A = this chain, B = another copy of it.
Amino acid sequence: MASTARIVAMTIQKRRERERAERERLIVRVARELAEAEGWDSVTTRRLAAEVEYSQPVLYSHFKGKDAIMAAVAVQGCEELAAELRKARTSAGSPRQALAAVGEAYTAFGRRRPALYDAMFTHAVDLPFATPEAPAALHEAFGELAKAVEPVAAEGDEPELLTETYWAGLHGLVTLMRSGRLPEGGHERRLALLIGHFVPAGMG
């Protein structure tokens, strides 16, 4: 009897943990949907709690604070970005085309999913970046960039630094455009200029 009770208790506990994990995923999903629909300013802890139909303190039993929720959304974004970069890179014919494809995919992602992009690359400094502890999805996304950059690296260029530099160029284009500091028109030509200057003459 005692053993039966213990087993039942254990399965009950498992169900609890399952439900709890599900609720956590719900919070992240709703936070993301809300942010994408109305912007991060609309994602307040009160509003988010109301949308998931729990009280505010429940959020804090899952996450340390609002920034941690944004960080969770950012990790999701990294996964999607990595997938899109990979797809762009692997379906390109030449190194130059691959570099252009990931550049276009990156900036397209930033424009199509601004809330996700902000969580990943402008807000939320909580999650580590340039260290091994950074989320795997982030390494994966950066790795896609790196794999596209390395083939066009010149003699003596350190590939990692060159990738970071290319990333910075793409990031600058996305953020300056999205904040209205660069006109939307001309984006393709700016991107082409950036890419062109990263490819050695006569390559591609």
Q: How large is the interface on A (under 10, 10 to 19, 20 to 34, 35 or more residues)?
A: 20 to 34
Q: How far is the CA of A169 from the CA of B172 in the complex (A)?
A: 6
Contacts of A158 in B (CB 8 A): 189
List residues of chain B with CB within 8 A of the CB of A171: 172, 175-176
- Identical subunits present: 2
Say whether A161 faces chain B, with CB atoms less than 8 Å apart: yes
Quick one: which of A126-178 are within 8 Å of B by CB?
A: 129-130, 157-158, 161-162, 164-165, 167-173, 175-176
Is the CB of A122 closer than 8 A to any CB of chain B? yes
Complex CA–CA separation, A125 to B190 (angstroms): 22
Nearest first, the 6 closest Cβ-Cβ pairs linking A and B are A168-B172, A172-B172, A171-B172, A169-B169, A129-B181, A168-B173
Interface residues of A (CB under 8 A from B): 121-122, 125, 129-130, 157-158, 161-162, 164-165, 167-173, 175-176, 179-183, 186, 189-190, 193-194, 197-198, 201
